[in-house]
Chains A and B, each alone.
Chain A
């Protein structure tokens, strides 16, 4: 089955740039979606189809996907960005949705 690998944690100071990676075999050939989840809340999509942003998501959130790594980039990080972030793809070979293990973003 297809596996997505994320770092368990990323720490960044306010105002700096956070990069959260999502590794998978030839993930560049798939569409990658990113979700933000704060404690006690349902996930919210912040980037879909590699690099598109839903209405209401700040431009500070961006995504890229190439080769074996997809990346969620959060520019000018704010305290309110502290959350868990998950990448997700559809694996057509198994007809399964696959989530990465999640990355806890800590704003120092």
Chain B
């Protein structure tokens, strides 16, 4: 059974940094691209970033490009999101999701809440 468990969320001041992690199990982690998707409270889904299975290719939403960095450690089956220069509009639940060839998300974590507030 595929399991994705996010961690690292919390409260941070504007301009601060936070590193999210996603622990994966139940599948051959390095065979799959992985994504971060976020959802502000009461709002819709917003894609954040994508990393290829071998980590060589990354893409970012325009809203986070230059501030967020996605990475993965295939030896530890883990996915990360380094978030710098955080803004109030980055407040959201952050989900990691497994990409299925074809560009859709087969499995999601339960999310971790990031709150940017002074």
Contacts and interface: CB of A to CB of B under 8 A. Distances in A.
A and B: partners?
Answer: yes
B104 A86 contact: no
Contacts of A31: 102-104
A98 B110 CA distance: 20
A48 B13 CA distance: 39
A29 interface: no
Q: How large is the interface on A (under 10, 10 to 19, 20 to 34, 35 or more residues)?
A: 20 to 34
A99 to B, nearest CB: 4
Contacts, number: 57
B105 A35 contact: yes
B35 A97 contact: yes
Contact of A90 (B61, B95, B103, B110): B103
Contact of A45 (B50, B62, B104): B104
A101 B104 contact: no
Interface in A56-108: 84, 86, 88-90, 95-102
A42 B35 CA distance: 14
B108 A86 contact: no
Contacts of A45: 104-106
Interface of B: 35, 37, 44-47, 50, 59, 61-62, 95, 100, 102-106, 108-111
Give me the 7 closest cross-chain CB pairs, A-B, nearest first: A90-B103, A97-B47, A33-B104, A42-B108, A102-B44, A99-B45, A48-B104
